[in-house]
Structure 1
Amino acid sequence: MNEHFYQKTGIVITWLARDLMQLKKGDRMPIISDYQQQFDISRGTVQNALQFLKDKEAIETISKGHLGTFLSEVNYEVLQQYAISDYVVGTMPLPYSRLYEGFATGLYQNFSDHQMRLNMAYVRGSKDRIQSVVNGVYHFAVVSKFAAMEAIRREAPVEQIIDFGPYTYLSRHILLFAEAQQNQIEDQMRVGIDNSSYDQQTLTHEITKNKQVEFVEMPGHQLIYALKEGVIDAGVWNYDEIVDKNYQDLNYRFIEESQLQLDMSTAVIICHKEDAIFKTVLKKNIDQQALLATQKQVLEGNLIPRY
């Protein structure tokens, strides 16, 4: 491809590829004059860009006379090379539990099934994951429904696009104690708190309400170590890690079920609210039921996690 072609047509190829990624096999193609008006370019430039994508086997079309032209084949992997980047990039929690491992495996399998390349970054703290989407570092983030709602309440420019339902993010939270005979929060206790997590931070404040405690800031995944080393007296954490790692020597009690807990157990995917392309791409290409079926297989030990 010569330099003149790049200058005249390259940007239009990107525009068209982004638009076509929002369509699926069998959809009617916009007519060339629509693209001319949308992009303020010549008919020939649109035709050259479309032909380029056909030559690269990104799309195949079929004409149905007065009904218009329809997509007979769509290769999203090729379109993605010209529309966005080599990978769709997302972020989710560190997969320290089987539930997270299953979710990550389901995501990768889902994207592979739809010929989409995915690259995941595993980042602790829902606040950091949400902010990375706001800053454009990642295209999407997996967080709890509660974290997504809290971020939106605080006017973060994000939008929840897929809700996977209760107990897809975690089973429930527990309250851990350093002392074997302890079962409730008392004044003067040192309580671990992870201020990078909307969920852990909120629950910690809820269970210590009206108590005079000392908060000790730390990453959530260090709570168990801190309890065993006597750094803190209590802390809120994810029950799934306790089960998966067989921590039989820990003293804990379950935190009462509530709507708050239900929202915190629900996995959702968020995007930047102004990122129309990725919102559409993810909605069209993530099969919720298939992902959850993969997660279940990993949980039951019938599938080796791959992420």
Structure 2
Amino acid sequence: MIDTDFIKKDYIALFQLAQYFLNIEQGQRIETISRLSEQFGISVGVIQKALKTLESNQFIYLERKGCQGSYLKQINPHQLVTLLNISSLVCVMPLPYTKLYEGLASGLKLQFENIPLYFAHMRGAEARLECLYNGIYDLAVSSHLACEHWLEQDKLEIVMQLGAGSYVQEHGLICRDEPENSLKKIGVDIRSPDQLKLTEWYFAEQEVEIVPITYNNSFSLLKNHIIDGVIWNIGDRNDFKKHHLTFKSLKKNELFNRATEAVILIKKGNEKIKQLFHLYADREMILQHQQLVFNEKIEPSY
């Protein structure tokens, strides 16, 4: 009869060691077998066997220096990843209605050629981040500003910051071509933390009524005089005059920068996804690809 418990322990040891070796630097001294046994809650014999398996299959290369201990000489990261039992990743991000979003999705997709990366598109940063926290998705894209309260509560963590202008070009006030003191009713989509925070900042010294709206109805609500203004992401649009509307850029400050910066997040403590992301994702390559899509030099593919 096959001892299934022993097979299970063997697999757990390989899984734990794969995570361990992906998380330390080459040239670093590794923990002793007894320390690894204690750390993982697995017997010394099983750990020893798992290490031999990794070495014999050339997943890792160790250099033994006698009483000085063993050192990690080299790893085969793509082989180690296969032990993490990740067949695919799902990233939730905004609806791809701008070239920046399309470029970001396409750039990310290109980075994960060895592991399938799929996208779920969802309007509203708060909804996306809640789904990430609840374990529905592996990764999420939002602005830096939108995720701040999740970071403060230690529920999510950023694995990559892409810099100002990587999420949206800029935000501004869209209103009818009328004096600004006529602004009384300001539309806000409650699913957008960015829009709410920027609206509160912009109208901090002016008494206005906040009107709950759906973001994509902003233009029709303005034209029908249901709202007088809305803080809006300019995106790829430049047709405001056609709708008899004006766009006034917001004064750039730190709040503005955080609202325009794209960040990629994981659930706090999800070391497996964190290691995998840092293994494959290259920030500069993602940004270069995004700009090529934005400037219509290449077609996005996601």
In structure 2, what is the equivalent of residue 100 of structure 1? 101
CA distance in 1, matches of 2:212, 2:59: 52
Given the alignment, which residue of 202, 219, 222 partners 1:224? 219
Given the alignment, which residue of 201, 204, 213 partners 2:199? 204
TM-score (normalizing by structure 1): 0.80
Distance 1:209 1:62, change over 3 A: closer
User: Higher mean Cα deviation, 284-293 or 273-282?
Assistant: 273-282
**CA displacement 1:189-208 (0-9 Å, x = unmatched):** 3x221111111111222333
In structure 1, what is the equivalent of residue 122 of structure 2? 123
**CA displacement 1:40-99 (0-9 Å, x = unmatched):** 3234423444566678x68253556647364645253x5445425322333222221111
Match for 1:164: what amino acid? L
Answering whether residue 86 of structure 2 is matched by residue 90 of structure 1, we say no
The SS at the match of 1:147 is: coil
Answering whether residue 172 of structure 2 is matched by residue 174 of structure 1, we say yes
Distance 1:140 1:185, change over 3 A: farther
| Correspondence list, 1:11-90, <5 A | 11-23=12-24, 32-50=33-51, 59-61=59-61, 63=63, 66=66, 68=70, 70=72, 72-76=74-78, 79-90=80-91
CA distance in 2, matches of 1:52, 1:176: 63
| Contact persistence 1:14–1:82 (CA under 8 A) | yes
Q: Provide the alpha-carbon RMSD of the alignment.
A: 3.2
Percent of aligned pairs sharing the same letter: 26
CA distance in 2, matches of 1:6, 1:222: 57
The SS at the match of 1:302 is: coil
Distance 1:248 1:33, change over 3 A: farther
Match for 2:10: what amino acid? T
CA distance in 1, matches of 2:214, 2:82: 37
Unaligned runs of 5+ residues in structure 1 are: none
TM-score (normalizing by structure 2): 0.81
Given the alignment, which residue of 249, 255, 262 partners 1:260? 255
**CA displacement 1:175-229 (0-9 Å, x = unmatched):** 122x3x225263543x221111111111222333454544332332332343345
In structure 2, what is the equivalent of residue 249 of structure 1? 242
Match for 1:269: what amino acid? I
Q: How many residues matched?
A: 297
Distance 1:123 1:20, change over 3 A: farther
Match for 1:61: what amino acid? Y
CA distance in 2, matches of 1:89, 1:25: 30
Unaligned runs of 5+ residues in structure 2 are: none
In structure 2, what is the equivalent of residue 235 of structure 1? 230
Distance 1:52 1:64, change over 3 A: closer
| Contact persistence 2:95–2:123 (CA under 8 A) | yes
| Contact persistence 1:17–1:83 (CA under 8 A) | yes
